[in-house]
A and B are shown apart, each in its own frame.
Chain A
């Protein structure tokens, strides 16, 4: 972390230091790019298509079998990323914002999976009534 990028030519404010002179380049990368309305509509169309795919997988499960649950999780993850990336602007906001959200998200995912494992949800249940 160096302040070498600070230049003496910048105008100074009442504090006697140049605004932005001490900004951290790693963090300050919010780009003021706004996607167009058409981008938003395209994303909505993709979201709808993915949802349709998900629901058809549900009905095809008797045919496809155990490949369906991972596929469904993958598809919902795709929808999740689309909404977070485009509608919530994480694609355009700084990396710090993304870290603020994905860190907790990962911890939550680890806890869900660990608890499911501890409650034997990944062990085939032989005693359960056949459905």
Chain B
């Protein structure tokens, strides 16, 4: 915004960069993510506060254990999707629409793989261990915490797919790299939430038998 003014250049209310050099849409995404910290913070606080308070089985560590090798793979899938996402952003900033499309699709694919893994995990717990959302307080807090994370991943996949569709309709260009960057911020946030959940829920779960 350091261009020389031209009489025909109208001032608009969307005059970004005016005060702080920050872009409105990017700023609002960060404020939103700050708010999301409190959302997942409250869910995690609920899960952690109710830990070990189930009055009836099954509870991990006693009746069954988390399948750590399996969850490690799905956590890694989500981590790699973040790499794909950042490569999509790098591609659109270069003006490489084809590369953007490929990396966005890769991100979506990895995201869906993660969701598939979550679906598999949930059904295994439900069928093999008899753990429903209403079975005990562990089931309630586990399904709600990981389920809301899964819902966030789903929204992210839909968002990225919308960008892919836009790119096929020729509406995504180097000048709209911000659209991809902001979707990326959301996607990475969903990833870091899982980094925390992976440790707090899975790796720090009581475990003794089973291995």
Are chains A and B touching directly in their complex (CB below 8 angstroms)? yes
A binding-site residues for B, Cβ under 8 Å: 11-15, 19-20, 22-24, 27-30, 34, 37, 40-41, 43-44, 47-48, 51, 54-55, 57-59, 61, 69, 72-73, 75-76, 79-80, 83-84, 86-89, 93-94, 96-97, 100-101, 103-105, 107-109, 111-112, 115-116, 118-119, 121, 125, 128-129, 131
Measured in the bound complex, the distance between the Cα atoms of B32 and A36 in whole Å is: 27
Interchain residue pairs with CB less than 8 A apart (10): A12-B5, A40-B86, A40-B87, A54-B199, A72-B203, A79-B192, A104-B34, A107-B37, A112-B48, A119-B50
Contact A97 B30 (CB under 8 A): yes
- A115 smallest CB distance to B (angstroms): 4
> Are B44 and A112 in contact, with the CB atoms below 8 A?
yes
Instruction: Name the CB-closest residue of B to A105.
Output: B37
Distance (Å) between the CB of B124 and the closest chain A CB? 19
| Total number of residue pairs linking A and B with CB closer than 8 Å | 170
Residues of B within 8 A of A131 (CB): 61-62, 206, 208-209
Chain B residues, CB < 8 A from A44: 79-80, 82-83
Cα(A112)–Cα(B51), bound, Å: 13
- Decide if B41 touches A14 in the complex (CB within 8 Å): no
Give B102-117 interface residues, CB cut-off 8 Å to A: none
A34-B90, A54-B203, A115-B46 known, 13 other contacts, Cβ within 8 Å: A14-B7, A23-B19, A28-B22, A30-B21, A55-B72, A55-B203, A57-B203, A76-B195, A83-B191, A88-B188, A93-B26, A101-B37, A131-B62
Residues from 51 to 91 in B contacting A, C-beta threshold 8 Å = 51-52, 61-62, 68, 72, 75-76, 79-80, 82-83, 85-87, 90
Is the CB–CB distance between A40 and B206 below 8 Å? Answer: no
Q: Which residues of B contact A121 (CB under 8 A)?
A: 48-49, 51-52
| B33 at interface by CB-CB < 8 Å | yes
Cα(A116)–Cα(B49), bound, Å: 5
Q: Are A40 and B192 in contact (CB under 8 A)?
A: no
Q: Which residues of A contact B191 (CB under 8 A)?
A: 83, 87
Q: Contact between B199 and A76 (Cβ–Cβ < 8 Å)?
A: yes
- Kindly list chain B residues whose C-beta atoms are within 8 Å of the C-beta of A57: 203
Contacting pair A108 B83 (CB below 8 A): no
Shortest A116–chain B CB gap in Å is 5
Interfacial chain B residues near A11, Cβ < 8 Å? 4-5
User: Which one of A51, A111, A125 lies within 8 Å of B45 (CB-CB)?
Assistant: A111
Q: How far is the CB of B128 from the nearest CB of chain A, in Å?
A: 19
Cβ contact within 8 Å between A51 and B75: yes
Q: Are A83 and B195 in touch, CB under 8 angstroms?
A: yes
* Partner of B2 from A19, A41, A69, A76 at Cβ < 8 Å: A19
Contact of B198 among A61, A76, A89 (CB under 8 A): A76
- In the complex, the answer to whether A94 meets B22 with C-beta atoms within 8 Å is yes
Is B35 on the interface with A (CB-CB < 8 A)? yes
Q: Across the interface, which residues of A come within 8 angstroms of B175, CB to CB?
A: none
Establish whether residues B31 and A116, one from each chain, have CB atoms under 8 Å apart when the complex forms: no
Please tell me if the beta carbons of B34 and A30 are within 8 angstroms of each other in the complex. Answer: no
